[in-house]
Amino acid sequence: MPAHVLFKRSMLVVAGAAAALALGMAALIIRLTLADPFGGPAHPTDAAMLAQFARVRPSLESIVGMLEQDAGIQRMAPDFTRPDPPPIPPERLADYRARLQAAGIAHGLSYYGGAVDFLVSTRGLSISGSGKSFVHAEHAHPDATVIDGDLDAAVDALADKDVLLQRRIGDGWWLQLDRR
């Protein structure tokens, strides 16, 4: 077979492989965009969270009482604590985690400045994600916009989605959507 024919065939094979690679990359980008790989499932609705809160409020209040006894806990998740090592015995840490799991608090809690944030749902990355939680605090967060209705509907109506929204759900309790 002449050299120029072999060259043409080789070029067609290379062009076909490049086209297949480009098509595969485009399909991957589209799939990742549609699947939201870093987002995960949507946050629970306000109605679902309010029903959960009604069921587990006594458990959450007992955890708040425990935190008031255990100085130094800042953050507690299923797989880490802050500070590390935790300032409590392993048995006490296991008790917290079991209580959080039983209450449906999938992502643990944070405890700063007297406010306890029970992280029910998170989406995205820590630097650019969002979270929906129950907050035990006397007052709304100073950066929060207090809403008298559905948090999801409120954020959908805003032009700037980089917000912290809170809704009072009980004496000293808030439902929170943090999109900052």
pLDDT in tens, the chain (180 residues): 777 777 778 777 777 877 777 777 666 555 544 445 556 789 999 999 999 999 999 999 999 999 999 989 999 999 999 999 999 999 999 999 999 999 999 999 999 989 999 999 999 876 778 999 999 999 999 999 999 999 999 988 887 888 999 999 999 999 999 998
The residues, ordered by sequence, that sit 6+ positions from 46 with a Cβ below 8 Å of its Cβ are 150, 151, 152, 167, 175
Assign 54 to helix, strand or coil: helix
> For the chain, what are the domain ranges?
1-35, 46-178
Question: Looking at the chain, how many residues does it have?
Answer: 180
Residue type, 1: M
* Site of tokens 């679902």: 48
Which H helix or E strand runs over 56? helix 46-69
